[in-house]
A and B are shown apart, each in its own frame.
Chain A
Amino acid sequence: MTTQSVPAPAALTREAPSLGGFNVTVLRLEIRRLLRNRRTVIFALIFPVVFFLAFGLNSAYANESAGPGSHGNVSAFVMISMALYGAVLATTSGGAMVSIERAAGWSRQLRLTPLSPVAYIVIKMLTAMVLSLASVVVVFAVGGLTGKPSMPM
């Protein structure tokens, strides 16, 4: 309540963060938030697996060659397709998140922090790519467990 306690000039020698505010805490929180979103998890992680199990294991064609000159069978072809589908979906939804956050006013809130626009985009890209990696890993892991896909070098 006193006007004598004006901030010491030392308070004005504060620093701006390096890397425009980019840090691991933000990345961790963003990924955790993404995995909490049920729709994202269903479409990016569960759908590709379900589709692989539905179309990649049918014994009528699963062991057929994927095409003339190919080394893999149809099961491997479906597995890779589904992993790719999951990865693409994860990264595109990551891009859509930016526009949703903008509409919600979160971007405006972030402009009151040292976070630079470039650092924000980098964080979003990394978050989306982590999810797409998860999608690929999950589909390949399930494929490996079924033992059906085969693609000898």
Chain B
Amino acid sequence: MGPMTLTNMADERGRRPAGGSQPAAIALRRVHKNFGAVQAVKDIDLDISSGEIVAFLGPNGAGKTSTIDIILGLSQPTAGTAEVFGMAPRQAITRGLVSAVLQTGGLLKDFTVRETAEYTASLFVRPRPVDEALNRAGITGIADRRVGKCSGGEQQRLRFAMALLSDPELLILDEPTTGMDVEGRRGFWGSIRQDTARGRTVLFATHYLEEADAYADRIILLRHGQIVADGTSSEVKAMAAGRTVRATLADADPVALSAIPGADNVEVRGDTVLVHSTDSDAVARYLLTKTPARDLEINTRGLEDAFIALTSDDNDTSAGGSR
């Protein structure tokens, strides 16, 4: 498989395998999690099929980590059920079906990199060779270094190597590149991308929007413990933001433009009109057939705008969550 651009990858992965007889990689049913009076997760239903690359996107406190902890069996849901490959999360872990790179997973400073990996490997029934995992995580060169002397990025790669040892069917990454510099982040995602080419299911939480856009074929936006959007990155963008149609039109009539189905915001700046709409096709068709408009441009707002629109507090979420 030759090198591919990110766009290519997203296109190829766009297809989602149907459930079939294979149990879903992750199945959450009406999951709630309360910490005292705080509802961290509110009624989440989620199915992730084998082979999907899914991003959990949301601001801090949206419930990403709480949901991941439930999927990994690190915490019990207050209500609802969580299944991984058709079994309880802990069972899936003891069989080496699931592994994770966590934000909070501690490492022992006085082990070397290789010892840490050997320790982890010895706990599984049929682990992959330690050297192979170190190699795939790109840390063969520092195998004999003490963990305490490794940089944050190197420690994160070690956690990634540990997660590969059981050759899991499902890999979960909770904000895996937090605190890495740009180069470290790129290298880390390069390793993960090479690895996921093998057909592993991946769920990662992030608040780096560009990461979700570039690496996931499905984005799930979380806000206040609820799923507010679920779709491909272009679907999520369109769901929140719609598109803006810009055209050159002399003597535009804002009232007539506002009457176009789907148009929710009309701006006239001299000879330029900007119509924001959830149905940009209808606006374009109207402008081109019913008015002398020219120089038509249609722009999608970025994922970042979608993210802010869908997750900010003062937003009416009725537009999202359809799916």
Which residues in A have some Cβ–Cβ distance to B below 8 Å?
1-7, 9, 11-12, 14-17, 21, 23, 25-26, 29, 32-33, 36-37, 101, 104-109, 111-115
Contact = CB atoms under 8 A, between A and B. Distances in A.
A112 B72 contact: yes
Interface stretch (B90-98, B230-238, B260-268, B312-320): B90-98
Main SS of the interface on chain B? loop
Contact of B122 (A23, A36, A105, A111): A23
- Residue picked from A3, A26, A32, A114, most chain B C-beta under 10 Å: A3
B75 to A, nearest CB: 10
Given A106-B106, A109-B106, A6 B199 contact: yes
A106 B106 CA distance: 4
A108 B4 contact: no
B1 A1 contact: yes
Interface stretch (B7-15, B249-257, B296-304): B7-15
A93 to B, nearest CB: 14
Contact of A9 (B22, B96, B123): B22
Contacts of A21: 94, 123
Contacts of A1: 1, 4, 9, 12-13, 196-197
Contacts of A25: 118-119, 122
The 7 A-B residue pairs with the shortest CB-CB distance in the complex, in nearest-first order: A105-B106, A5-B199, A25-B122, A16-B94, A104-B106, A114-B94, A109-B105
B211 interface: no
B269 interface: no
A27 B111 CA distance: 13
Contacts of B124: 17, 113-114
B199 to A, nearest CB: 4
B108 A112 contact: no
A101 B108 contact: yes
Interface size range of chain B in the complex: 35 or more
B51 A3 contact: yes
Nearest to A24: B122
B97 A14 contact: yes
Contacts of B5: none
Interface string B159-199: 10011001001000000000000000000000000001111
B199 A109 contact: no
Main SS of the interface on chain A? loop
B123 A113 contact: yes
Contact of B96 (A2, A106, A114): A114
B91 A6 contact: no
Given A1-B1, A26-B123, A7 B199 contact: yes
A15 B125 contact: yes
Given A109-B102, A113-B123, A12 B169 contact: yes
A16 B99 contact: no
Nearest to A11: B169
Contacts of B282: none
A2 B166 CA distance: 21
Nearest to A21: B123
A111 B93 CA distance: 8
B288 interface: no
Contacts of A3: 13, 15-17, 51-52, 199
A115 B126 CA distance: 14
19 contacts: A2-B12, A3-B15, A5-B199, A11-B97, A14-B96, A16-B95, A17-B123, A17-B125, A21-B94, A25-B118, A26-B119, A101-B108, A105-B105, A106-B107, A106-B108, A108-B102, A108-B104, A111-B93, A112-B99
A26 B111 CA distance: 12
Nearest to B167: A11
